[in-house]
């Protein structure tokens, strides 16, 4: 793989040739009649308004990119169509062009174009314009870049983290938006796996926060970020807010995403059927809030359609060449209520039965050397929720109980089917760690040893460390956590993880990286050969 820097947008000379590019309809996600708008970026939108041309307001993004497919996203300031041009050449001498359907307030003026027939293993440049629906006139272009997955054994490198703009720490202009974004831009990954808490809908911001050293953290604050999100407009505003960060918008324009969600996209530690006991909320039904949050998620995240039922789903498999498959889990939508975790009958209370069977089926079908399982909850860390438990682990020795009963069969399935080289990646707990699980240390022993790596937060308060549960025999090989709860990004306890796979040897290297760009810990795993 060529060592290309997305920040410099290095030029190329090859045109797309005969590779076919086309658009595809993006799933029929729920719509709303809301006509409210969200805060715009600082891209001079006023100039477009004066000229009478529609404009793109929040940058461009791409997501769920495979060897030949992907999705491009943009938001406009009025009803318009997106015109996308894509080329191997950054000067766009030989582009392929496609156009979206009409974008309306039903989706908060956000739109996507599905890409098909892309050339594998290629750095591609794309530019997007908003086109007036009654003429061919377009506003100013906004450019991005993506790299497709290889068809052959080539190097692969990606980053993962989660937890964005939480616990009172939002966009700080002193850092260009989000401090970690500059580190991630310098890492120049093939894609970014966002492990959940993409927004903090339950985390209002204040303009200033005093720091322990006497300094002041200064947040950009918009109306939707000044209170908890309850309405669809307010949930949409959470995503629009993040895209006001200049360096974050730049990173997303140059790095394809794979997104999953967790709890703060709705409300802390939520589960279906929950009724809130929180005076901040006038709407107490979490199911109502989750429906609005889900619509905003699908409107603002460049996720590809994943289900034929028209509703879309978050869990999916992204095939990224012969060396890597990413299994993106949804451990929130199908959760049972938070209890003490001592139940002895499995009820599908973390993945749900349909998703569990899907995961087993897709793992068995996978021919990739490495299977990365993206879990929005860690397997062996105890995450309390008052007197109950929020996560999978119940903190008790002995046989699996509670939600552990839903993970144990997956681990046994992997062993019984000879599926090796699986690595679990997660965020959620707001510190970074490397956990090795082994049946030699476990109460439940019907599984092969494996690793779980924890990263984050990206731009939220840092916490931890959490207690390890002994059921699956985890060992904390490395842990770095802050000295106290809710340390800010200014204090240096935000983290991103990097995974690189060598195209020749298929060795997988994991690096845990701090907000200053330094590698805190790393290890290299060699693939098991049958």
0.85 exceeded by pTM: yes
CATH for 1-148? 2.60.40.380
Rounded-to-integer distance, Cα 444 and Cα 5, Å: 46
- Is 108 within 8 Å of 38 (Cβ atoms)? yes
pLDDT tens-digit readout, 165-181: 999 999 999 999 999 99
User: What does 44-102 look like in DSSP terms, one character per residue?
Assistant: -HHHHHHHT---EEEEEEEES--SS-EEEEEEESSSBEEEEEEESSTT-SS-EEEE---
Of the chain, the percentage scoring pLDDT greater than 90 comes to: 86
pLDDT tens-digit readout, 228-257: 999 999 999 999 999 999 999 999 999 999
- Is 127 within 8 Å of 140 (Cβ atoms)? no
pLDDT tens-digit readout, 458-507: 999 999 999 999 999 999 999 999 999 999 999 999 999 999 999 999 99
pLDDT tens-digit readout, 175-208: 999 999 999 999 999 999 999 999 999 999 999 9
Write down the pLDDT at residue 212.
94
- Section 262-287 average pLDDT: 97
Judge if the upstream peptide bond of residue 433 is cis by omega within 30 degrees of 0: no
Write down the pLDDT at residue 157.
98
Does residue 10 register a pLDDT over 90?
no
Write down the pLDDT at residue 378.
97
Average pLDDT over the chain, rounded to whole? Answer: 90
- Section 328-334 average pLDDT: 95
| 529 — pLDDT class (breaks 50, 70, 90) | confident
Q: Nearest-CA neighbor of 6 among 242, 195, 184?
A: 184
| 401 — pLDDT class (breaks 50, 70, 90) | very high
More confident position, 217 or 50? 217
Rounded-to-integer distance, Cα 453 and Cα 401, Å: 23
- Is 119 within 8 Å of 36 (Cβ atoms)? no
- Is 87 within 8 Å of 131 (Cβ atoms)? no
Rounded-to-integer distance, Cα 83 and Cα 213, Å: 49
Rounded-to-integer distance, Cα 249 and Cα 459, Å: 14
Provide the residue ranges of all domains of the chain, joining segments of one domain with +. Answer: 1-148, 156-525
Does residue 27 register a pLDDT over 70?
no
pLDDT tens-digit readout, 279-308: 999 999 999 999 999 999 999 999 987 665
Write down the pLDDT at residue 29.
28
Rounded-to-integer distance, Cα 206 and Cα 193, Å: 29
User: What does 120-188 look like in DSSP terms, one character per residue?
Assistant: TT-EEEEEEEEE-TTSS-B---EEEEEEPPPSSS--EEEEEE--BS-TT---BGGGTB-HHHHHHHHH-
Write down the pLDDT at residue 308.
56
Of the chain, the percentage scoring pLDDT greater than 70 comes to: 89
Write down the pLDDT at residue 312.
76
Rounded-to-integer distance, Cα 53 and Cα 48, Å: 5
Write down the pLDDT at residue 31.
30
Q: Nearest-CA neighbor of 85 among 57, 111, 110, 115?
A: 115
3-class SS at 350?
coil
pLDDT tens-digit readout, 34-75: 323 333 333 333 333 435 899 999 999 999 999 999 999 999
Q: CATH second-level architecture of 156-525? A: 4-Layer Sandwich (3.60)
């Amino acid at each position: 793989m060529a060592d290309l820097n997305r920040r410099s947008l290095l030029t190329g000379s090859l045109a797309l040739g005969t590779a076919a590019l086309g658009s595809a309809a993006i799933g029929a996600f729920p719509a709303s009649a809301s006509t409210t708008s969200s805060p715009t970026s600082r891209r001079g939108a006023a100039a477009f308004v004066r000229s009478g041309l529609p404009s793109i307001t929040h940058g461009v993004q791409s997501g769920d990119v495979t060897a030949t497919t992907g999705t491009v996203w943009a938001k406009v300031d009025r009803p318009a169509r997106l015109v996308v041009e894509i080329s191997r050449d950054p000067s766009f001498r030989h582009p392929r062009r496609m156009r979206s359907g009409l974008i309306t307030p039903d989706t908060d003026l956000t739109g996507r174009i599905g890409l098909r027939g892309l050339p594998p293993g290629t750095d591609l440049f794309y530019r997007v314009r908003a086109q007036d629906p009654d003429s061919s006139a377009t506003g100013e272009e906004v450019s991005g870049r993506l790299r497709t997955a290889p068809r052959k054994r080539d190097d692969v490198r990606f980053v993962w983290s989660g937890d964005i703009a939480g616990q009172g720490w939002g966009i700080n202009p002193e850092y260009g938006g989000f401090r970690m974004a500059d580190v991630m831009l310098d890492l120049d990954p093939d894609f970014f796996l966002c492990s959940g808490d993409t927004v903090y809908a339950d985390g209002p911001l204040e303009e200033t926060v005093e720091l322990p050293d006497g300094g002041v953290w200064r947040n950009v604050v918009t109306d939707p970020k000044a209170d908890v999100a309850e309405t669809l407009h307010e949930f949409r505003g959470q995503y629009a807010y993040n895209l006001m960060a200049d360096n974050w918008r730049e990173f997303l324009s140059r790095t394809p995403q794979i997104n999953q969600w967790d709890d703060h996209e709705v409300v802390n530690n939520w589960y279906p059927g929950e009724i809130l006991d929180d005076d901040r909320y006038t709407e107490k039904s979490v199911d109502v809030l989750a429906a609005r949050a889900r619509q905003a998620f699908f409107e603002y995240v460049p996720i590809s359609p994943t289900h034929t039922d028209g509703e879309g789903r978050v869990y999916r498999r992204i095939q990224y060449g012969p060396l890597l498959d990413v299994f993106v889990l949804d451990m929130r939508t199908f959760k049972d209520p938070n209890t003490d975790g001592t139940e002895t009958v499995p009820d599908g209370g973390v993945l749900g039965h349909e998703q569990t069977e899907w995961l087993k089926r897709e793992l068995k079908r996978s021919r990739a050397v490495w299977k990365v399982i993206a879990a929005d909850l860690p397997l062996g860390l105890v995450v309390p929720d008052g007197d109950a438990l929020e996560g999978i682990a119940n903190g008790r020795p002995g046989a699996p109980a509670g939600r552990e009963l839903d993970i144990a069969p997956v681990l046994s399935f992997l062993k019984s089917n000879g599926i090796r080289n699986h690595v679990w990646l997660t965020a959620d707990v707001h510190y970074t760690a490397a956990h090795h699980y082994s049946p030699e240390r476990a109460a439940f022993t019907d599984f092969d040893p494996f690793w779980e790596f924890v990263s984050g937060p990206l731009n939220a308060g840092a916490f931890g460390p959490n207690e390890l549960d002994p059921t699956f025999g985890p060992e904390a090989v490395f842990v770095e956590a802050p000295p106290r709860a809710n340390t800010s990004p200014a204090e240096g306890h935000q983290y991103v993880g990097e995974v690189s796979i060598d195209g020749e040897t298929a060795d997988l290297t994991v690096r845990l990286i701090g907000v200053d760009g330094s590698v805190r810990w790393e290890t290299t795993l060699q693939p098991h050969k049958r």
